[in-house]
């Protein structure tokens, strides 16, 4: 008697190796700036990072980490700020990070002026 094996579903295998499937999903929707930075770093090597980011932009995701970027109120933000008034150094760093986000979006073929609203 011969047993026929079903073909391996490659999409299932890839999905199992995605960081957002391997780790706690709450990490990608945390209120903690440190946890969001961790989620962003985990997205770095993801094979679906660009597609994930493009899908989030299309859907106007209200919040969370998508494609290695943080979305807050439908806008891409360079980093999540802790509560309270920001220090002057943080404001200057945010301006630099906003520029880096624009460069990353452009590198992924997304024009930030038309596709994504960047939060100041």
31 and 44 Cβ atoms separated by less than 8 Å: no
Question: CB within 8 A of 67, min separation 6: which ones?
Answer: 43, 49, 50, 51, 52, 53, 54, 55, 56, 108
- 20 annotated ligand binder: yes
42 and 17 Cβ atoms separated by less than 8 Å: no
For residue 39, the SS3 value is helix
Q: Residue 115's beta-bridge partner residues?
A: none
- 52 annotated ligand binder: yes
**Binding-site residue set:** 20, 43, 46, 52
**Binding-site residue set for [4Fe-4S] cluster:** 20, 43, 46, 52
């Amino acid at each position: 008697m011969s047993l026929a094996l079903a073909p391996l579903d490659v999409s299932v295998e890839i999905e199992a190796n995605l960081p957002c499937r391997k780790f706690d999903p709450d990490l990608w929707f945390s209120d903690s700036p440190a946890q969001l930075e961790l989620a962003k770093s985990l997205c770095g090597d993801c094979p679906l990072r660009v597609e994930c980011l493009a899908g989030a932009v299309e859907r106007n995701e209200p919040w969370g980490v998508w494609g290695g970027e943080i979305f807050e109120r439908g806008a891409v933000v360079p980093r999540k700020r802790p509560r309270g008034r920001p220090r002057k150094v943080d404001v200057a760093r945010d301006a630099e990070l906003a520029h880096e986000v624009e460069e990353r979006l452009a590198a992924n073929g997304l024009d930030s002026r038309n596709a994504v609203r960047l939060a100041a």
